[in-house]
Structure 1
Amino acid sequence: MKTIIALIATILLIPLAQSADDKQTVLIVVTNYGQMPDGKTTGLWLAEATHPWQKFVKAGYQVHFASPKGGNSPIDPRSTKKPDAINDQFLNHKAYQNALKNTKVLKDLDPNNYAAIFFAGGHGTMWDFPNAAGASEIAGKIYSQGGIVSAVCHGPAALVNLKLPDGTLLIKGKKVTGFTNSEEEKVGLTKAVPFLLEDKLKSQGASYSSGEDFKLHTVVSDRLVTGQNPASAGPAAEAVIKLLKNSR
């Protein structure tokens, strides 16, 4: 079975192993935070990185991974409990696993090298994304020079303090979504997280909307793309791809 999975992964994701210097590059940012203050294990919600990665690669884009501190991005074990073919493909290839174990340091990157930035979610992001070094400098510059900024689920935690080069908040006056207060309550982590993402996005001047809990909901506002929850990860990436292709 593992051999079959590996073969399928090779067929679907083989572009990752190819050199394509002429391709545009998308930067996926993931968390370094693996344990909540109360001791609960957290980290990256794996599908919120792997599903967008596959979408971007199949559309012909290169993908790099970064995190606030660089190095390993811990995977929330809850995110691997349910069957997920794309996660299986990812986890059965050392090269793909290494992309999460050896992420680039966000603040050290040159925004001119990226056409889009995608902040993947997971509860860990609620602690290290809001004040991540380099987030405004990289994402703000990407946006100001015509690129795409995107985030899914708890990934929009990166947007709450994210500023453009002129000092204004990127999300002010823009339509956004993200993990809802209701969804947070249903997973039992309302008291564990440092703030409620829905409330924070609203308080900073964003026009927040949501769909049904745990169902697909994405929002596009100019060149800002956000997805509400894990079900929205792949579709949010597709929205980014559509914007990138239309900008050519």
Structure 2
Amino acid sequence: METAAARQGLTAKPVLVVLTSHGTKGSTGEKTGYYLAEVTHPVAVLEAAGIPVEYASIQGGEPPVDGLDLTDATNARYWQNPAFRNAVSHTPRLADVDPSRYAAIFFAGGHGAIWDFPDSAAVQDATRQIYEAGGVVGAVCHGPAAFVNVKLSDGTYLVAGKRLSAFTDDEERAVQLAHVVPFLLASTLAARGALLEPAPDWTAKVVVDGRLVTGQNPQSATGVGEALRNLLLAQAGVDLTAMEKQA
């Protein structure tokens, strides 16, 4: 079925979805990785609007997956889709990807992200290039760990003075991992100058500040996808009101 975006002539660059390659929670031995619903729910929104999606991971290949809840209908639909499974099983390394090909970059969460996103030069370079080229930058839950060390060309932190949302310190304590993760995400972002807007634990919360889109937790994944979609369609000149009427 032709989407409203396609009817209005949208020929968008893809969104690059970045997945963690880190598979264990510190010294606990517990498995982790990218959180499946934080990929499938935003991607479902983007693809329904005719916006193409591609995938990359920090180390390439098949990244570890967490939150493999197939009672979630969206998770099940994607996990049982051979094209999706092939894409997430054969990801390129982010360092080998050309950021100029993408309209947006989106960092999925999952606890693994807090270990390998922050110090990745590829994460920092791709985020800066896409943002400074006028693209959209997004993340959900632990995905904003990607932004902890991103500096713009003027030397300032990407998040400095910007409103955003991320997995809160209270939520980290609630899952009893505050002393396992290498740092508390929300506190660290605040130390970089971010203006955190927390919601109660496990409540959907999405914050949009210009071309920066962030969500607090898995409950926010669909809303982050909707915010990314709206920004990208607006940039492409799509009439969002007309699209909603035709949907």
- TM-score calculated relative to the size of structure 2: 0.88
Q: 1:47 aligns with which of 14, 37, 48?
A: 37
- Would you say the 8 A contact 1:67–1:73 is kept in 2? yes
> CA 1:110–1:82 in structure 2 vs 1: closer, same or farther (change >3 Å)?
closer
Using CA pairs below 8 Å that are at least 6 residues apart, which structure has the higher relative contact order?
2
Mapping of residues 77-226 of structure 1, within 5 Å: 79-81=67-69, 83-226=71-214
Q: Choose which of 56, 59, 84 in structure 1 pairs with 2:46.
A: 56
- 2:221 aligned with 1:233, yes or no? yes
Paired residues of 2:69 and 2:75 also in contact (CA < 8 A): no
Structure 2 portions without partners, runs of 5+: 2-9, 237-247
Identity level (%): 46
Cα offset for 1:156? Answer: 0.3
Cα separation, 2, equivalents of 1:23 and 1:177:
26
Give, in whole Å, the separation in 2 of the partners of 1:245 and 1:100.
25
**Deviation at 1:25?**
0.6
Q: SS of 2:38's equivalent?
A: helix
Question: CA shift at 1:61, angstroms?
Answer: 1.0
Report the count of equivalent residues. Answer: 227
Unaligned runs of 5+ in 1: 1-10, 12-20
* 1:23-77, Cα deviation, whole Å (9 max, x unpaired): 321000010011123211111110001111111111111101011111111111x
Query: Which of 15, 25, 34 is the aligned partner of 1:36?
Result: 25
1:66 has 2:34 as partner: no
Report if aligned partners of 1:218, 1:226 keep a CA contact under 8 Å in 2: yes
Q: Give 1:137 deviation, angstroms.
A: 1.4
- CA shift at 1:195, angstroms? 0.5
Task: Give the CA RMSD over aligned residues.
Answer: 1.5
Displacement over 4 Å in runs of 4+: none
Inter-partner Cα distance in structure 2 for 1:247 and 1:169: 24
1:192 partner amino acid: V
TM-score (norm: length of structure 1): 0.88
Question: Which residue of structure 2 aligns with residue 14 of structure 1?
Answer: none
